[in-house]
Amino acid sequence: MTSRKFILFFLLYLFPNFAFPHPLAAQGIAPGAGEHQGFIINETEQILKVDSIKPGQTIQVVFAPHWTTEKGGKVKWSLLDQDKVRLRTVTQSQPDSDPVFLEWTSNSFPRPRAYFIHVQGVGGFSSGEILGEYALRILLWDQNDADQGTDAPETYEKALLLPVSEPGTYVFDENFISGTADTYDIYKVFIKPNHSLNLRAQPLHWQGTSPKAKVRWEFLNKSFKRLKEGTSLFPQPSPFVIKVFAPRTKTDTKPALFYLLVKIEGDGSMIYTLQAEMKEGR
């Protein structure tokens, strides 16, 4: 059971804990993961920065307003990257005080390498009017593709090694891909001469709202010739399965190199499993 499976449950657990005992001015502070409070101020944009993002790290921000005005107040929550490009925005109007959830995943470079969180109050009667208070929680999740503690890269040159070269059965069930910035996972696999690989890749948990989201699977040789491809459509758990045999040759006794490419399309994310069986012979 992976930690990401509990994200929604965990967030529901967090919501009752939002409290507003002594709100702090959020202008200019640079928080990491944790809880932060501040005022919702009319015609004022407050900025919080989260930097030192790791490759493939996911940021999740949960906002909750507490209104002090009777009507008219609004708050705009925004998540931006290091270049101030707006990634997600949600606007809430008084009296809506339900928690709001924003998420983005960096790729392996990493990009984004930092995030800005903007909190902007609007709709009041005068500039500087306090419309309410807010609490937000920032969670940062690391990836664990192929149990390597990081994100599988986007290029073949930096492909992540799938450690399955010795005979045996292997299961990697915490692989993650996102339609935000982490749209590709590329793995490399070595198969010894006279050995065969049975590989099964399967969606474990989909998240998102796009009915057109899908994942493409491709298995290629070292010359990038596609040996097999497949597609899993949101929210189906349809697997991609391939069996490959590396024959023994007189001229080349080195292990054969292959690649597994995983690509997500659409606004969604997915946890997927990789199950591999390596054995001698066919």
In this predicted structure, what is the pLDDT of residue 101? 92
Cβ-based burial of 230 (10 A; exposed 0-12, middle 13-18, buried ≥19): middle
| pLDDT tens-place string over residues 168-188 | 999 999 999 999 999 999 999
Residue 259 placed within a domain: yes
Domain check: are 27 and 114 in the same one? yes
Domain check: are 81 and 112 in the same one? yes
Cβ-based burial of 252 (10 A; exposed 0-12, middle 13-18, buried ≥19): exposed
Domain check: are 95 and 214 in the same one? no
**Residue 282 C-alpha from the chain's centroid:** 37
Domain check: are 150 and 266 in the same one? yes
Q: Residue 167: give its domain's CATH number.
A: 2.60.120.380
In this predicted structure, what is the pLDDT of residue 72? 84
Report the alpha-carbon distance of residue 271 to residue 209 in Å, rounded: 15
Strand residues in the chain grouped as ranges (E): 34-41, 44-50, 58-67, 74-81, 86-93, 100-105, 115-122, 130-141, 160-161, 168-178, 184-191, 195-208, 214-221, 226-233, 240-246, 256-265, 268-280
Residue 41 placed within a domain: yes
Residue 1 placed within a domain: no
Largest CA distance in the chain: 83
Task: Give the Cβ contact number of residue 15 at 10 Å.
Answer: 13
| pLDDT tens-place string over residues 190-244 | 999 999 999 999 999 998 877 889 999 999 999 999 999 999 999 999 999 999 9
In the predicted structure, residue 5 carries a pLDDT above the cut 60: no
Domain check: are 154 and 271 in the same one? yes
Domain check: are 256 and 163 in the same one? yes
Which residues sit opposite 34 in a β-bridge?
138
Residue 98 placed within a domain: yes
Cβ-based burial of 266 (10 A; exposed 0-12, middle 13-18, buried ≥19): middle
In this predicted structure, what is the pLDDT of residue 32? 59
Report the alpha-carbon distance of residue 39 to residue 95 in Å, rounded: 16
Report the alpha-carbon distance of residue 59 to residue 106 in Å, rounded: 8
Domain check: are 61 and 177 in the same one? no
Total domains in the fold of the chain: 2
Q: Which 8-state DSSP code applies to residue 270?
A: E
**β-bridge pairing 44-50 and 115-122:** antiparallel
Domain check: are 18 and 117 in the same one? yes
Residue 54 placed within a domain: yes
Domain check: are 186 and 170 in the same one? yes
In the predicted structure, residue 74 carries a pLDDT above the cut 70: yes
In this predicted structure, what is the pLDDT of residue 121? 95
Domain final residue pick, 99, 118, 141: 141
Domain final residue pick, 84, 108, 141: 141
Of the chain, the percentage scoring pLDDT greater than 90 comes to 78
Higher pLDDT, 118 or 125: 118
Residue 194 domain boundaries: 145-280
Residue 231 placed within a domain: yes
Report the alpha-carbon distance of residue 125 to residue 119 in Å, rounded: 18
Q: 242 in helix, strand or coil?
A: strand
Sheet of strand 44-50, all strands in order from the earlier edge strand to the far edge = 44-50, 115-122, 74-81, 86-93
**Entry pTM:** 0.84
